[in-house]
């Protein structure tokens, strides 16, 4: 607020510098009526020295508006009237004080316009407006009023000044106050909309929309990891459980998933009932180093390690979700045999904005790895049948093979017959998985 006033004061002072010079030329004819021997130089040079230079000094001082902004904003109540006084002191006020009071009438309207423009353009909060009005009254009009009042003969001019200035305050202050309230309301409304939208849009999309980040909204492709998560036995769960308890359980499950995901750097792109598409490393900023020669080897090493670390984050996330999921089942007294299963795949993933700008657009994710992750997630059902039905599985796509040495308990399925093939991927000869055995139900109930 105060920084804004100081910033605008800087602009006003810069304008004043230019206007001081121009006024020296255009006011010559006016002053010639009282001072016929006044030369152009005598009118311009003093204005440059005593108006323009101080204005330039203050312009630079206010320019650094973030520093001492409160002091600077309140100082406009003295500085701006002071600049007007310094302009008036060149020929004009000496003429008035020498007895030629009627000459003031040439400048009265200009003064009112300048003062109202300056206060309007400062556009400060009410306290600043009031202080500026008071400043102009005492610093600029005060001496004039005193002069005309004590003169007695020109009390009409005094009444004119007093009346017009009172009119100025009566119109200016309410008007500026209303404008200030409107600006404040708009700013708060804008912030409120942004705050309300952010949880729905996510931090990245909210930032992109509100900061005008077209580089994000235009879409991009990034190498990352995508995870497909699903609840095994969901259909049976929805049929067996009551509508209300199923709804509450799913609300809690979604909330827990989002909270757990945020700890491991994942991003939830979409949810469809019991299924979720999550990415790791796709929404992260990444610098393009393709134009730096000699880094190719190191960038390749960095890329490999990044994928390894993203896989680790994904596994840790799933491992954290498992006990949370079981705890929710106990909390909401879920009778159905439901478990979560997931899969991970990596590759080039596209972040795009889909849809029609005039109807609806969606910030979406696309790419072959998503299809692969979905097919591999469906493979968890097969694993339940052929390995152990009382376990949760995380299926890992084959491209992670070279990283799996550093992970424990990773097992492999050799796909040597059609019935255990991954759907739509007949060329996939092996998949990896990690298994988490659940305690038997009898033991769980005894524990509960």
Partner 1 sequence: MRLRDINKMKGKVSNQELADLVAELRLPLPLAWLSKLSPMLVVALIWCVPVFLSAIVLDSFLMAESSTLEKALVCVGAALTFGFGFILTAGVIGKIFSFGIVEGKFPRRTDHPLYAIRRVYGTAWTQVYYFKPLYAVILAVPPLKILTFWLFGYKGDYSAIFYPDTWIRDLGMIRAGKGVYIANRVCVGTNMCLNDGSVIVGNVTLGDGAMVGHMAMFALGTSVGEKSEIGVNTAVGIRVTIGHGTNIRPRANVNHGVQVGDNCIIGTGAVLGTKVEVANGVHIKTGASIPPGAQIRSQEDADKYFSSEMELDASHKGVIAELLKEHRKHQGDSDRKEA
Minimum CB separation of residue 298 from partner 1 in Å reads 5
Which of 153, 243, 244, 285 is close enough to bind partner 1 by CB under 8 A?
Answer: 285
Instruction: Indicate whether 291 belongs to the interface with partner 1 (CB under 8 A).
Output: yes
User: How many residues comprise the chain?
Assistant: 448
String marking each residue 412-441 x if it binds partner 1 according to CB under 8 A: x-x---------------------------
Which of 37, 239, 272, 290 is close enough to bind partner 1 by CB under 8 A?
Answer: 290
* Long-range contacts, stretch 182-191, CB < 8 angstroms, 24+ apart: 183/123
Instruction: Indicate whether 244 belongs to the interface with partner 1 (CB under 8 A).
Output: no
Angle at 207 between CA 357 and CA 250, to 5 degrees: 85
Instruction: Indicate whether 293 belongs to the interface with partner 1 (CB under 8 A).
Output: yes
Question: How many other C-beta atoms can be found within 10 angstroms of the C-beta atom of residue 444?
Answer: 13
String marking each residue 258-277 x if it binds partner 1 according to CB under 8 A: -----xxx------------
Minimum CB separation of residue 84 from partner 1 in Å reads 26
Is 305 or 354 the residue whose CB approaches partner 1 more closely? 305
Greatest C-alpha distance within the chain: 116
Which one, of 129, 130, 132, 128, lies nearest residue 140 by Cα? 132
Which residues, 6 or more positions from 168, have their beta carbon under 8 angstroms from its beta carbon? 112, 115, 116
Distance CA 205, CA 203 (A): 6
Instruction: Indicate whether 97 belongs to the interface with partner 1 (CB under 8 A).
Output: no
Instruction: Indicate whether 101 belongs to the interface with partner 1 (CB under 8 A).
Output: no
Distance CA 272, CA 286 (A): 29
Minimum CB separation of residue 408 from partner 1 in Å reads 5
Stretch that binds partner 1, among 70-78, 95-103, 156-164, 285-293 (CB under 8 A): 285-293
Which of 132, 313, 380, 397 is close enough to bind partner 1 by CB under 8 A?
Answer: 313
Distance CA 80, CA 23 (A): 17
Please classify residue 197 by burial: count the beta carbons closer than 10 Å to its beta carbon, then call 0-12 exposed, 13-18 middle and 19+ buried. middle
List residues binding partner 1 (CB under 8 A). Answer: 60, 64, 66-67, 214-215, 218, 220, 263-265, 281, 284-295, 298-299, 301-306, 308-310, 313, 408-412, 414
């Amino acid at each position: 607020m105060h920084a804004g006033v100081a910033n605008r004061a800087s602009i006003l002072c810069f304008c004043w510098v230019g206007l001081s010079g121009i006024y020296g030329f255009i006011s010559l004819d006016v002053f010639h009526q009282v001072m016929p021997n006044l030369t152009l130089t005598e009118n311009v040079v003093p204005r440059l020295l005593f108006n323009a230079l101080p204005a330039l000094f203050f312009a630079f001082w206010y320019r650094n508006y973030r520093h001492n902004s409160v002091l600077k904003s309140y100082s406009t109540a003295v500085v701006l009237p002071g600049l007007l006084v310094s302009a008036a002191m060149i020929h004009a006020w000496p003429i008035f004080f020498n007895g030629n009071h009627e000459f003031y009438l040439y400048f009265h309207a200009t003064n009112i316009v300048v003062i109202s423009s300056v206060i309007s353009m400062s556009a400060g909060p009410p306290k600043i407006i009031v202080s500026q009005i008071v400043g102009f009254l005492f610093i600029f009009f005060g001496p004039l009023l005193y002069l005309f009042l004590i003169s007695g003969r020109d009390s009409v001019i005094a009444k004119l000044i007093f009346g017009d200035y009172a009119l100025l305050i009566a119109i200016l202050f309410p008007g500026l106050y209303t404008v200030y309230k409107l600006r404040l309301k708009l700013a708060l409304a804008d912030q409120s909309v942004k705050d309300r939208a952010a949880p729905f849009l996510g931090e990245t999309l909210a930032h992109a929309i509100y900061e005008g980040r077209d580089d994000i909204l235009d879409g991009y492709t990034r190498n990352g990891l995508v995870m497909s998560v699903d609840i095994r036995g969901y259909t049976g769960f929805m049929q067996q459980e009551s509508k209300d308890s199923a709804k509450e359980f799913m609300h809690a499950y979604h909330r827990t998933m989002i909270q757990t995901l945020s700890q491991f750097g994942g991003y939830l792109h979409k949810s469809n009932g019991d299924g979720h598409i999550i990415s790791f490393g796709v929404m992260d900023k990444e610098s393009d180093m393709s134009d730096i020669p000699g880094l190719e080897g190191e960038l390749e090493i960095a890329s490999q390690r990044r994928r390894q670390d993203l896989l680790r984050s994904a596994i840790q996330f799933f491992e954290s979700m498992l006990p949370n999921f079981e705890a929710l089942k106990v909390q909401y007294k879920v009778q159905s045999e439901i478990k979560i299963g997931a899969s991970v795949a990596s590759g080039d993933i596209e972040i795009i904005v889909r849809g029609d700008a005039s109807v609806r657009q969606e910030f979406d994710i696309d790419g072959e790895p998503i299809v692969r992750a979905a097919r591999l997630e469906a493979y968890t059902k097969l694993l339940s049948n052929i390995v152990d039905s009382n376990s949760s599985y995380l299926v890992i796509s084959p491209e992670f093979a070279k990283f799996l040495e550093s992970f424990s308990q990773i097992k492999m399925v050799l796909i040597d017959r059609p019935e255990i093939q991954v759907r739509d991927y007949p060329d996939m000869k092996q998949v990896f998985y990690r298994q988490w055995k659940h305690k038997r139900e009898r033991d769980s109930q005894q524990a509960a």
